């Protein structure tokens, strides 16, 4: 099969890590007889420098007409003083909304060879940890009406949380579909004891659950979920929640695994087009030094193979190649521990290729 992939290396370590992910995809192409065509486009700080804006129109056009988008990371100290709406991160918001990417998938996977990196007591994650946070990405308080007004104590600022039935239905379906591919257990997280929008959320998720009788659904309040994640994270399989709650809980879940350089993410919409990126940022402190861990980006490519191209065998092959490298004791600096062999970005990429 033939797939067109828009590649946004972006800033900082972005070019270092996307280079390795492309090599992995090329190897997958050779091994499984697919062809991948890569079109590199500008976004983020580098686009501000070269083209005057974080998300140039031609970048957006190429992303829209591709089968998937691979993103490294954007941002860095050079652009930190720009006003909010001119910063590199605007490229991410622009891409998500223009491509209709309303579902953000963030797996938190604790790899057996890296279990010492886990920040929790070993007995709490005995046998590993594998959960998926599905976050609504284009609605809720981050996109609601906001402003300043005269309040009880003088001028006040406000933001509003609003969700429509349609928005909740479609994110719920994504989450149920993913639960069906996993352990068939879904936790919907809200604050239905306080918020009207959460009460609608809960009712709609209940309604959608009738289409998925095999999936065991439960509801938890967000404050309880935050506690349960550090108390007994193994109780979770798939978590679905709103934009803001998902922002916070997905970071909490991923940090339990202790290794930011290992975690991929996917942003999906109605069709098969998705955007795939590591959860970490542009790590300007190690950019261009062959120090960045490329595994989160390589695992993002595995998610691309699975969710946009429906190539499950190929996705698993990439994931197994990564685990194989870890089992052999190779580590980049960020996940290094005693007795292991430290390697750089390129060597790590090469090792994954050899394991493929
Ligand atoms: P960061 O994730 O870039 O870095 C945090 C720490 O983790 C740093 O010490 C860094 O060296 C390390 N690190 C991150 N990824 C690594 C990897 N693959 N291998 C080895 N070490 C790694 O977060 P930050 O320092 O808060 O942000 C730096 C810049 O990235 C900022 O401009 C921020 O706005 C931007 N950012 C971008 C995205 C994105 O593009 N999606 C996400 C988060 C932050």
Task: Give the pLDDT confidence score for residue 277 in this predicted structure.
Answer: 97
Q: What is the DSSP string of 26-72?
A: HHHHHHHT-EEEEEE---SHHHHHHHSSSS-HHHHHHHHTSSEEEEE
Among residues 16, 191, 212, 237, the one annotated as catalytic is 191
SS3 326: helix
Task: Give the pLDDT confidence score for residue 108 in this predicted structure.
Answer: 93
Q: For residue 292, what are its two tokens?
A: 């960045």
CA of 85 to the centre of ligand 1 (A): 20
CATH number of 119-256: 3.40.718.10
| Residues of the chain above pLDDT 90, percent | 91
Q: At what angle do helices 14-32 and 345-355 cross, to 10 degrees?
A: 10
**Among 282, 292, 344, which is best to mutate for testing ligand 1, by the most ligand atoms less than 8 A from CB?**
282
pLDDT band at 180 (very low <50, low <70, confident <90, very high): very high
Ligand 1 atom nearest to 17, measured from its CA: 18
Per-domain boundaries in the chain? 1-101+286-356, 119-256
Among residues 223, 285, 316, 328, the one annotated as catalytic is 223
What's the Cα-to-Cα distance from 247 to each of 85, 254, 313, rounded to whole Å?
20, 11, 30
CA of 13 to the centre of ligand 1 (A): 9
From the CB of 75, is ligand 1 less than 6 Å away? yes
From the CB of 45, is ligand 1 less than 6 Å away? no
A 10 A CB-CB count for 287 gives 17
CA of 25 to the centre of ligand 1 (A): 23
Ligand 1 atom nearest to 286, measured from its CA: 11
At residue 115, does pLDDT exceed 90? no
Task: Give the pLDDT confidence score for residue 117 in this predicted structure.
Answer: 82
The answer to whether 129 and 108 have CB atoms below 8 angstroms apart is yes
Mean pLDDT value of segment 318-340: 95
Predicted confidence (pLDDT) per residue in 208-256, tens digit = 999 999 999 999 999 999 999 999 999 999 999 999 999 999 989 988 8
Ramachandran bin of 247, using left for φ above 0, alpha for ψ from -120 to 50, beta for the remaining angles: alpha
The yes-or-no answer to whether 1-101+286-356 and 119-256 have a common fold is yes
From the CB of 104, is ligand 1 less than 6 Å away? no
Residue nearest to atom 44 of ligand 1 (CA): 281
Task: Give the pLDDT confidence score for residue 284 in this predicted structure.
Answer: 97
At residue 2, does pLDDT exceed 90? yes
Q: Which CATH superfamily is domain 1-101+286-356 in?
A: Isopropylmalate Dehydrogenase (3.40.718.10)
pLDDT band at 257 (very low <50, low <70, confident <90, very high): confident
From the CB of 43, is ligand 1 less than 6 Å away? no
Give dist(CA 32, CA 112) in Å, integer.
28
Q: Which residue has the tokens 């430290």?
A: 342
Give dist(CA 351, CA 283) in Å, integer.
22
CA of 279 to the centre of ligand 1 (A): 8
> Average pLDDT over the chain, rounded to whole?
96
Q: What is the DSSP string of 146-182?
A: EEEEEETTEEEEEE-----HHHHHHHHHHHHHHHHHT
Active site residue 223: yes
Mean pLDDT value of segment 179-201: 97
Residue nearest to atom 25 of ligand 1 (CA): 283
| Model confidence pTM above 0.85 | yes
């Amino acid at each position: 099969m033939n797939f067109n992939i828009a590649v946004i290396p972006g800033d900082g370590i972005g070019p270092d890590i996307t280079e390795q992910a492309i090599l992995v995809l090329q190897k997958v192409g050779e091994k499984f007889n697919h062809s991948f065509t890569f079109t590199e486009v500008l976004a983020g700080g580098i686009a501000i420098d070269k083209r005057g804006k974080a998300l140039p129109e031609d970048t957006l056009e190429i992303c829209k007409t591709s089968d998937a988008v691979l993103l490294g990371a954007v941002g860095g100290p050079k652009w930190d003083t720009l006003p909010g709406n001119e910063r590199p991160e605007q490229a991410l918001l622009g891409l998500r909304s223009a491509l209709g990417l309303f579902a953000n998938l963030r797996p938190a996977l604790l790899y057996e060879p890296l279990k010492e990196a886990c920040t929790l007591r070993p007995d709490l994650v005995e046998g590993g940890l594998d959960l998926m946070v599905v976050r609504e990405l284009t609605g809720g308080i981050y996109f609601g009406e906001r402003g300043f007004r005269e309040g009880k104590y003088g001028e006040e600022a406000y933001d509003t949380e609003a969700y429509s039935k349609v928005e909740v239905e479609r994110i719920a379906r994504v989450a149920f579909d993913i639960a069906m591919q996993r352990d068939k257990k879904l936790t919907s997280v809200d604050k239905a004891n306080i918020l009207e929008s959460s009460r609608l959320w809960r009712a709609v998720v209940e309604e959608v659950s009738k289409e998925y009788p095999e999936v065991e659904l439960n509801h938890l309040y967000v404050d309880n979920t935050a506690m349960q994640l550090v108390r007994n994270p193994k109780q979770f399989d798939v978590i679905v929640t709103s934009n803001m709650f998902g922002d916070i809980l997905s970071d909490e879940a991923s940090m339990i695994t202790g290794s930011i350089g290992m975690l991929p993410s996917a942003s999906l919409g109605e069709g098969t087009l998705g955007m795939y990126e590591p959860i970490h940022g542009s790590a300007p402190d190690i950019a261009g030094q062959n120090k960045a861990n490329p595994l989160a980006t390589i695992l993002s490519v595995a998610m691309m193979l699975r969710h946009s191209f429906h190539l499950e065998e190929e996705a698993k092959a990439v994931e197994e190649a990564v685990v194989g490298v870890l089992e052999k004791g190779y580590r980049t600096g960020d996940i290094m521990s005693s007795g292991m062999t430290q390697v750089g970005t390129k060597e790590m990429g090469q090792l994954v290729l050899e394991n493929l």
